[in-house]
Structure 1
Amino acid sequence: MANNNFDVIIVGGSYSGLSAAMALGRSLRQVLVIDSGKPCNRQTPHSHNFLTQDGEAPKDISIKAKEQVKKYESVKFYNGLAISGVKTQRGFEIKTESGDIFMSKKLIFATGVKDILLDIDGFSESWGISVIHCPYCHGYEVKHEKTGILGNGEYGFEFSKMISNWTKDLTLFTNGKSTLTEAQTTKLKAHNIKIIEEGIDSLEHTDGHVEHVVFKNSHKIPIKAIYARAPFVQNTDIPEGLGCELTEEGYISVDPFQRTNVQGIYACGDNTTFKRSVSNAVAMGNIAGAMINKEIIDETF
């Protein structure tokens, strides 16, 4: 790549990063999108609850989005992994795994998160297909089906209450001794939500479509979908290395305009919020791109 100096470097080229790139390209900014091509929803067959794209494959949405962003000549793409970043007198410097170095006035991190999938046989293979995290993204497709919640305590109670809107055939799997309060247990049972405390051994599935929950005592029950919340870590430690603060939950802390606490660094998408959806990532990227452009204008006018 002939030029290694840009107005903005965007680390991460999925929905949020592409959305920011489009806003900046339309603002005539010189932009570099660095992307390693591994979005967190790459195993999910269909995306939902996004106007004009409902039911489309995430990969197809990304391909279409990238083709549209490529029409803006000031936006360039680099296929690779960013591994480090430093603050410079001019702005920032990003180094890639291949040893290439790029510089910019501003940075956007649209790097998503890495889910730490539970150590249950069949869980990772079914993640995003029939082991799901969001009823607004996937709940309609499994409405009225035999559905499980994998959780315990406050989360198990609140999510069971939530999912009871989509199905009345609901079981809470605590995967060990229940930590529900007596009042929570009584409330769930009053709504015919079953509670099973047996330890889970595996999930029987076909191509990621769960068929049975198998317990450690070899007993098993049929199931069509399971909601679960997996722990996560940030996909990159570059923002922290540059001084960006994280929230108690582990997200990059941003204000309503997607600004981090470090001047010139913005973040958007799943790395900043528990509200993980394509539509939300696109909206956040659009805001980040517009606000960075305004920041540059304010600094140079």
Structure 2
Amino acid sequence: MTENKYFDVIIIGGSYAGLSAAMTLGRSTRKVLVIDSGLPCNRQTPHSHNFITQDGKKPKEIAVVAKQQVEKYDTVEFCEDVAIKGQKNGNLFEISTLSGKTFTAKKLVFATGIKDIIPAIKGFEACWGISVIHCPYCHGYEFRQQKTAIMANGAKAAHYVSLIYNLSANLTLLTSGKADFTEEQVEKIKAHQIEIIEKEVQEIVHQNGKVQEVVFKDNSAIKFDAIYAAVPFIQHSDIPETLGCELTEQGFIKVDTFQQTNTKGVYACGDNSSPMRSVANAVASGNFTGAAINKALSDELFW
């Protein structure tokens, strides 16, 4: 537990993006604090994929090694806590935590991720990240050529369908209500022998998170091996908005090419600011964010 109160940079969120930013800043001899609760959103996911050198490893294993490597830099400190409030005092930012601690920094990084809004469907949450999945790049290869459902409607379903068809032509669209597609989209979907089912889903039957079948509200059922689901989300932390940070139409924190929000001195990286939701992207954006902040701090001191 840190006893220091003042830092060059406070990073809120100590998963892949936050640790990557911390390493970059720590190696630049910046005094950094990482505040993290230790509950990453992918903690239920059995394996991480599409991340070169780490393909197939458990997400927790990657995170543990990453933290061990960052801890080697004495410029980086950690606080296991939850940031609950942020405010700007002059040119500095003040962060308060759930346990009552207060820290101050010149710059802030939000690597807080997003919070999925899980639908009230029995079995959905138990399968989420295991066989009910969100990303064909992260999980698609493991479910290639298997019987697959897409639980989505409208633009999100249209986005998914061609990407997933490339991995498995044995597809069914579950719109959970009246399908919302253009005539042209319906023609294309049906031309690829993809059935559209508008019945509402009641339950996902599974064994230890592995989908067995989907049961509809009329008690009919279909067997599936995997389900892609487009679920809504909210920001995991509301502190960026209280500091005046804008969100995009999709709900992501709006950042410029240097990962800075519209609130000067406040940066965001990882899932909270990008639709490309993957470990590899989180690490890359965190690395770049750290470099951008170091450049800003260097310019402020030198010029």
Q: Secondary structure at the match of 2:271?
A: coil
Q: Give the C-alpha shift of residue 119 in structure 1.
A: 1.3
Shift of 1:179: 1.9
Distance in 2 between residues matched to 1:247 and 1:182, nearest whole Å? 29
SS in 1 for 2:270: coil
The amino acid across from 1:43 in the alignment is Q
- How far, CA to CA, are the matches of 2:139 and 2:166 in structure 1? 13
What is the CA–CA distance in structure 2 between the aligned matches of 1:182 and 1:85, rounded to whole Å?
Answer: 48
Structure 2 unpaired stretches of 5+: none
Give the equivalent residue in structure 2 for 1:123.
Answer: 124
Does structure 1 retain, via aligned residues, the 8 Å contact 2:27–2:73? yes
User: In the alignment, what sits opposite 2:47?
Assistant: 46
TM-score relative to the length of structure 1: 0.98
Post-superposition shift, 1:254? 0.3
Q: Distance in 2 between matches of 1:148 and 1:263?
A: 43
Aligned position for 2:135: 134
The one-letter code of the counterpart of 1:238 is: I
1:75 deviation in Å? 0.2
Who is 1:6 aligned against? 7
| Cα separation, 1, equivalents of 2:101 and 2:70 | 23
SS at match of 2:196: strand
What secondary structure sits across from 2:273 in the alignment? coil
Q: Distance in 2 between matches of 1:182 and 1:142?
A: 29
Match for residue 206 of structure 2?
Answer: 205
Q: What residue number does 1:271 align with? A: 272
In the alignment, what sits opposite 2:288? 287
The 2-side partners of 1:154 and 1:104 are apart by 41
Give, in angstroms, the shift of residue 62 of structure 1. Answer: 0.3
Indicate if the aligned counterparts of 2:156 and 2:230 stay in contact, CA closer than 8 A: no
In the superposition, the TM-score normalised over structure 2's length comes to 0.98
Partners of 1:202 and 1:231 in 2: CA distance: 19
CA distance in 1, matches of 2:211, 2:113: 26
- Name the % identity: 58
Could you list the runs of 5+ residues in structure 1 that have no partner in the other structure?
none
Q: Compute the displacement of 1:199 (Å).
A: 1.5
**Which residue is 1:111 aligned to?**
112
Determine the structure 1 residue equivalent to 2:182.
Answer: 181
Deviation at 1:89, TM superposition (A): 2.4
Distance (whole Å) between structure 2 residues aligned to residue 158 and residue 35 of structure 1: 33
Whether the 8 Å CA contact 1:5–1:103 is kept in 2: the answer is yes
- Paired residue total: 301
**1:10, distance to aligned residue in structure 2 (A):** 0.2
**Structure 2 partner of 1:232:** 233
Q: Which residue of 2 aligns with 1:96?
A: 97
CA distance in 1, matches of 2:159, 2:284: 27
Q: RMSD of aligned C-alpha atoms?
A: 0.9
Contact kept in structure 2, 1:135 and 1:163, CA below 8 Å: yes
- Aligned partner of 1:193 in structure 2 is 194
Pairwise mapping of residues 144-183 of structure 1 onto structure 2 (< 5 A)?
A: 144-183=145-184
Question: How far apart, CA to CA, are the structure 1 residues paired with 2:180 and 2:295?
Answer: 49
> Partners of 1:199 and 1:245 in 2: how far apart?
35
Q: Does 1:74 align with 2:75?
A: yes
Moved over 6 A (4+): none
Could you tell me whether the CA contact under 8 Å between 2:37 and 2:80 is conserved in 1?
Answer: yes
Task: Provide, for residues 135-171 of structure 1, a one-character-per-residue CA deviation record: whole Å limited to 9, x for no partner.
Answer: 0000000000000001122322331122100001110
